[in-house]
Structure 1
Amino acid sequence: MAKTPKRPVAGLPDKDTLLAFLREAGEAEKSDIARAFGLKGAERRMLREMLRELEAEGKLGKRGRKGFAEAGTLPPVGVVDVVARTDDGEMLVQLVKGEADAPQAVLVADKDRRGPAPAMGDRLLVKLSRAGEGWEARLVKKLDSDNSKLLGVVRKGNREVRIEPVDKKDKEFLVIPASLAEGLKDGDLVLAAAEKREGRYGPKRGKVLEHIGREDDPRAASIIAIHQHNIPAGFSEAVEAEAGDQEVPTLKGREDLRHIPFVTIDPQDARDHDDAVYAEPDTDEKNPDGWIVWVSIADVAAYVRPNTQLDREARAKGNSTYFPDRVEPMLPEVLSNGLCSLKQGENRATMAVRMVFDATGKKVSHKFTRGLMRSHAKLSYEQAQAAIDGAPDDVTGPIMDAILYPLWNAYACMLKGRERRAPLAIESLERRVKMSPDGGIEAILPRKSLEAHRLIEEMMVQANVCAAETLEKARTPLIYRVHETPSQEKIFNLSDFLHTIGKSWTKGEAPTTKRFNKLLGEVKDTAHAEVVNEVVLRTQMQAFYTPSNVGHFGLNLDRYAHFTSPIRRYADLMVHRGLIRACGFGDDGLTDREMSELEAIADHITETERRSMAAERAAMDRYIAAFLEEHVGAMFTGRITGVTRFGLFVRLDETGADGLVPVSSLGDEYFIHDDRTHALVGERSGKRFPLGYNVEVLLVEATPITGGLVLQMMSDPAPRDPNAPSPRLGMRGRSGKGGGGFKGGGKGGPKSARARNGGKPHGKPLGGLKGVKKGKRK
């Protein structure tokens, strides 16, 4: 890849001439030098000696096995590894075939490049150049995947140092040579890379790329999730400076909305407030008993302008990622918790929509405006709900008649339209981790579902619909939030499952939200309610972003876009820019270039959303495992939420944690996975462990570093289903075929917790956890 220098004068060069040649060439092998100077025979031997002398003098550096370069220099183009980060968060790269003399270079961000940013350990092809006293690298392309990298925890033994993976699906570990293990401590979290295996057998050798933290850090779960899922953390110095160099816009080009008494209603621990609401009766005689609803959203587009460094980093992040102990925000805190947050009593730039509904809850008109607003009050969901339920406080009491009652009355009107539309009415219980002041886990609590939540949700949904309608009418391209109709395969699986609980769904019947809601209504308040809600949820397709509209099945809407959360979602920021362009609100709207890139942007932010969801789930699993580690040996009640050929997944009632019951611990016979009825079925007895079955389990193992829970089944299986065909014999050992057969080891088996505890668990009570019986720690 080195450039070809001018042909030198023939004959053996002196040392200065040779160094000048290498300086121009970047790097060269001995044969290339000899060819360039026309050297043969004895002159080639003399050249070899000259190269040795220059290397001994520290004037030459080796590049690979045969290459040479002037010491301390880099070639114009080279293959590098990302090896470190500076204090400012910049990546440092090292030439792959460079020796100790080869300097590191700073990887410079390319403002025109799209896609995921390079990460620690990545191998890149870059252009290299001097920059003052150092070197810069500009990315040409990434050359490898992340398959060789491992996020793990250091385990130091007497004879070796291992890196054990934090991913419970990954069974391979790396061995670190003693020469590279200096400074490593047992329990360190590190990012490591596998090196080329010297032989065909034995463990893989590795090297540590980056020290992440400690496994005993209370925040380890989120730290692991951030690195494991490549969540971009922090901001560059340039972005922080750009974000800090902002101020609240004036009224120029904006409508003054400060007379409207907006209120924000958010979770108690919310730090940013990107939406505010207000409602009042419509006084228009043509709309009797109608309502006017205002939704005011932070005008993030006023601060994050297209093609700035701030915009590029926001797009790369795609969205904010939320963990129990921290947030990795899409925007720097000076914006997300400052200028873009609709703080009580402070002027804030807004993009607002005024919606008019008739007495039946039908939206009859809407209009967007770009304005300046001032929040009248900051409320929590619980605070607003308590006020409506008859327990106002010092904040809510004075605003009941003017603000809160009108909001609830407007929602009651809008609810008529929602019920007519019949969006999917799945009920799923969410849980949250309550952190203690020292960063530990205090409790796992269910999230309450309040009418205040549903009020804000419906007002946001309607504002999102208005955004999509406005952009479509103006023929301005936009990114839709779409949710496709469930596939035929998913409906067939649902039909098979419903047959096992005595419910029917004709396989040829078209899926609609009304049909799903009818089913959910039939099982409400029955023993099957929770499992049917979960199966219906699994039947749905994943929502995604796209510039091509196919509607939103779950909300039962023909068009839908995300507009209401631009602080934490790049999709919403793009919709804001579209509205600025479509409505003529300024020169900082959607650009021609962005319109040409909408499909790529939509694909990218769909990917970043799913990346964040996976990271959030992984962190939650680890936090729950850490919480339950002290309760190993205890009995829990739960429900089977997953059936596989290798075991059962059981969700514990109190914490919502999912643990695995290995099939080997289920009994004295072979169990066959019946994927049609979602059950493990005893080969001879026909007894079954079906999906949704309520059981008692014993916690055998909780591993915080991986988030894994291993459970022991303590309940007997359900009786044989007389309507089911008899299980076939001879299925033993056919993993992956015909359902797969596996033998249990007796109830608990000789190595089980039941056997160890003399047939039943015992020990001290477990601190008031419901659904938990006494047990003893392992």
Structure 2
Amino acid sequence: KEKRDTKERGSMYTSLMAMLEENPGKEFKLQSLVKKLSLKKKAMVEELFKLLDQLEENGVIKQTEDGNFRLVKASSGNKTSDSKTKGAAGKGITGVVDHVNARFAYVITGEEGAKDVYVKTSDLNTALHGDTVNITLFSKKTGANPEGKVTEVVKRARNRFVGKLQLSKNFAFVVPDFKKVYQDFFIYSENINDAKTNDKVLFEVTRWGDGDRSPEGKVIEILGKSGENNAEIHSIMAEFDLPFRFPENVLKESEQIGEAISKDEIKKRRDFRDILTFTIDPEDAKDFDDAISFRKLESGLYEVGVHIADVTHYVNPGTKLDDDAFDRATSVYLVDRTVPMLPERLSNALCSLRPHEDKLTFAAVFEMDANGRVQNEWFGRTIIHSDHRFSYEQAQEVIETGKGTYPDELKLLNDIAIKIRKERFKNGAVNFETAEVKFKLDADGKPLAVIPKIRKDAHKLIEEYMLLANKAVATFVYKMKKGEEKNTFVYRIHDHPDPEKLEDFSKFARQFGHKLEIDERTVSRSLNHLMDEIEGKPEQNVLQSLAVRAMAKAKYSTEAKGHFGLAFPHYSHFTSPIRRYPDMMVHRLLQHYLDGGKSVSKKDYEDKCVHSSEREKRAADAERASIKYKQVEFMAMAENKA
């Protein structure tokens, strides 16, 4: 049976590649691939998912925003007229290189209605993946796309890379780790910087070469031996252009920020220091950016305060610190380390809501009944003094046993959160709880075990109050001004899924005996029913993965389009300014409008939203790459032990 399955996998790969190569510009839906490859067994469908992920990781195929697959990225497919590029033969066109494999690349012009331009690797004129180039089109074409050659590299995407060094007698060369760079770099002996064979090195390009000579570089930093954890993680960081460290001027600014809280500052704020306040975070967390305050009011209502680290009190616009935070836009959580958005002095000290310390916060405070129905709300700057720091495990134990620190308060908060959550799903929120894992690592970063992340009531408690605050802030700002001309704001939006993609997913689910209604009014409820139905069944992972792919991607925008997955008409990100720059923008804008300020430039903030969404995707891709690296390493170690 094992031999037969191996043969089937090999046949699947051969058939898939033949299909893609015969149609290089065509997009294939997943359902179409399953059908064309005649995959009947669930195990083989899962193998197809793995194969597609591997091919995408290796740069052989692309998954489009619509969730379809193609051999290379062609901006408009075969249906689009290429009249714009046809008429441009011999003329210069500007675009970005997508070097899909060692043989050829596509130059993506980004021009509406124009096809991407096919360029042989030999015609790239030293351009690498991601470079902005000028190209000249040939008068004839042999395939579906126009063909051309690079005449000029306008802008390099990067000039630093990570790779494995191979040493010869008087020189060395480096094989880049970046999967879309298909050439080696020559290093003269004086530029080797004491690196040895098989060292992972960070190198900088000093000369880009030409048709006859390889590009040249010099070693900037030795990261370690190839295969060592630190070297491989640094390689992933370099591939996704993640910063290795903070610039000195940024660190200097952070060290100059005063720690003392003045009496004048306290007077400007609502004082919660005498009200029960605590944090609930992962066991190994150091940056506590949210706290909950709780008390019962004489009216019989409950006051729940969501207090968020007041990062923008310490980080001012126009500073090096703020510029760097904007550029990073988010913290990145790799398997063995965090690439933080803010220096440690801010993230782990000044802004972290550590217990038994006075801390400056920005809060959304709610008065609600026992069912979680909000009667009054208030937004503004506060000062808190956290009474206790719970880990999720500690809070969960108190909730389950009724014993320990603040058991009555935690039980009440949890009971209310459960009701808020139930109401949210009743209103159409979609319940996607995909399986996540974390790795237990030894001192050298080697994976010892894979541990599933299990979300319990303590996690969901915090989640519901954070969602409530994010929704309330967005709704408050949206409704500040009557009429169509609203105040410019940063929203977190999630479009409705594409009907065609839902139809494909519905057909696929039907093969497993499950039904999905795709009508816009009932799709959320139907999706939740399906997720409940497949829980614990063999097809759960396959269908959950496909369902997520059928959804639109959430992003930042100045347009208040609502959030489909959460079923909120208005939603934003307010609760994590230590690790997300959009939350810092939200804090500044909210305070600006609370102070009576006029609406700010929509275009400026839309540009910032686009940048933040791009950085978020980069972070997710890097995190995924680090997880895959550890998964492969873990499996290899397991095989060696067998």
Does TM-score exceed 0.5, indicating one fold? yes
Q: Which amino acid aligns with 1:226?
A: M
* Structure 2 CA distance for partners of 1:412 and 1:505, relative to 1, 3 Å: closer
| Aligned twin of 1:195 | 208
Of the three residues 247, 258, 268, the one matched with 2:273 is: 258
How far apart, in 2, do the equivalents of 1:493 and 1:196 lie? 48
Q: Which amino acid aligns with 1:387?
A: V
Report the CA distance between 1:436 and its aligned residue.
2.0
Q: Are 1:458 and 2:469 an aligned pair?
A: no
Q: Are 1:613 and 2:628 an aligned pair?
A: no
Structure 1 unaligned spans of 5+: 1-120, 125-141, 634-765, 767-774
* Structure 2 CA distance for partners of 1:526 and 1:186, relative to 1, 3 Å: same
* Structure 2 CA distance for partners of 1:460 and 1:438, relative to 1, 3 Å: same
Of the three residues 626, 637, 640, the one matched with 1:630 is: 637
How far apart, in 2, do the equivalents of 1:147 and 1:236 lie? 18
How far apart, in 1, do the equivalents of 2:246 and 2:356 lie? 29
Of the three residues 571, 574, 591, the one matched with 1:580 is: 591
How far apart, in 2, do the equivalents of 1:157 and 1:490 lie? 53
Q: Are 1:247 and 2:279 an aligned pair?
A: no
Report the CA distance between 1:204 and its aligned residue.
4.1
Give CA-to-partner distance per residue, 1:532-556, whole Å, 9 cap, x none.
2221111111110010111101111
* Structure with max Cα Rg: 1
CA RMSD, Structure 1 to Structure 2 (Å): 3.0
SS at match of 1:462: helix
Give CA-to-partner distance per residue, 1:297-332, whole Å, 9 cap, x none.
111111011222221111111111112322221111
Of the three residues 373, 376, 379, the one matched with 1:368 is: 379
| Aligned twin of 1:473 | 479
| Aligned twin of 1:502 | 513
Q: Which amino acid aligns with 2:267?
A: K
Report the CA distance between 1:143 and its aligned residue.
4.2
Report the CA distance between 1:438 and its aligned residue.
4.1
How far apart, in 2, do the equivalents of 1:457 and 1:216 lie? 38
> 2:276, 2:294 within 8 Å by CA — same for their partners in 1?
no
* Structure 2 CA distance for partners of 1:410 and 1:488, relative to 1, 3 Å: closer
> 1:248, 1:347 within 8 Å by CA — same for their partners in 2?
no
SS at match of 1:520: helix
Structure 2 unaligned spans of 5+: 1-129, 134-152, 482-486
Report the CA distance between 1:507 and its aligned residue.
6.4
Greater Cα shift, 438-447 or 156-165:
156-165
Q: Which amino acid aligns with 1:562?
A: H
SS at match of 1:526: coil
| Aligned twin of 1:734 | none
> 1:381, 1:452 within 8 Å by CA — same for their partners in 2?
yes
* Structure 2 CA distance for partners of 1:150 and 1:313, relative to 1, 3 Å: closer
* Structure 2 CA distance for partners of 1:512 and 1:359, relative to 1, 3 Å: farther
Alignment of 1:652-667 (within 5 A): none
Q: Which amino acid aligns with 1:473?
A: K
Percent identity, aligned pairs only?
31
| Aligned twin of 1:443 | 449
| Aligned twin of 1:279 | 294
Report the CA distance between 1:497 and its aligned residue.
1.4
* Structure 2 CA distance for partners of 1:335 and 1:282, relative to 1, 3 Å: same
| Aligned twin of 1:139 | none
How far apart, in 2, do the equivalents of 1:207 and 1:507 lie? 55
How far apart, in 1, do the equivalents of 2:154 and 2:260 lie? 44
Q: Are 1:428 and 2:434 an aligned pair?
A: yes
> 1:280, 1:410 within 8 Å by CA — same for their partners in 2?
no
Q: Which amino acid aligns with 2:372?
A: G
Alignment of 1:536-555 (within 5 A): 536-555=547-566
Q: Which amino acid aligns with 2:414?
A: W
Q: Are 1:337 and 2:348 an aligned pair?
A: yes
> 2:164, 2:176 within 8 Å by CA — same for their partners in 1?
yes
| Aligned twin of 1:186 | 197
Q: Are 1:267 and 2:282 an aligned pair?
A: yes
Alignment of 1:595-744 (within 5 A): 597-632=604-639
How far apart, in 2, do the equivalents of 1:310 and 1:481 lie? 24
Report the CA distance between 1:620 and its aligned residue.
1.8
How far apart, in 2, do the equivalents of 1:602 and 1:197 lie? 39
| Aligned twin of 2:502 | 491
Q: Which amino acid aligns with 1:400?
A: P
Q: Which amino acid aligns with 1:551?
A: G
> 1:360, 1:416 within 8 Å by CA — same for their partners in 2?
no
> 1:152, 1:164 within 8 Å by CA — same for their partners in 2?
yes
Q: Are 1:165 and 2:181 an aligned pair?
A: no
Report the CA distance between 1:443 and its aligned residue.
2.1
Which one has the bigger helix percentage?
2
Greater Cα shift, 314-323 or 262-271:
314-323
Structure ranking higher on relative contact order (CA contacts 8 Å, 6+ apart) = 2
Q: Which amino acid aligns with 1:601?
A: K
Q: Which amino acid aligns with 1:462?
A: L
> 1:280, 1:406 within 8 Å by CA — same for their partners in 2?
no
Give CA-to-partner distance per residue, 1:545-588, whole Å, 9 cap, x none.
01011110111110000000011111001111112112229xxx
Q: Are 1:559 and 2:574 an aligned pair?
A: no
* Structure 2 CA distance for partners of 1:594 and 1:311, relative to 1, 3 Å: farther
How far apart, in 2, do the equivalents of 1:593 and 1:521 lie? 44
How far apart, in 2, do the equivalents of 1:149 and 1:400 lie? 54
* Structure 2 CA distance for partners of 1:373 and 1:182, relative to 1, 3 Å: closer
Q: Which amino acid aligns with 1:554?
A: G
Q: Which amino acid aligns with 1:264?
A: T
SS at match of 1:597: helix
Give CA-to-partner distance per residue, 1:439-460, whole Å, 9 cap, x none.
4333221112111111100100
> 2:574, 2:583 within 8 Å by CA — same for their partners in 1?
yes
Of the three residues 405, 415, 422, the one matched with 2:411 is: 405
Q: Which amino acid aligns with 1:619?
A: S
TM-score using structure 2 length: 0.69
> 1:188, 1:211 within 8 Å by CA — same for their partners in 2?
no
| Aligned twin of 2:360 | 349
* Structure 2 CA distance for partners of 1:592 and 1:556, relative to 1, 3 Å: closer
SS at match of 2:261: coil
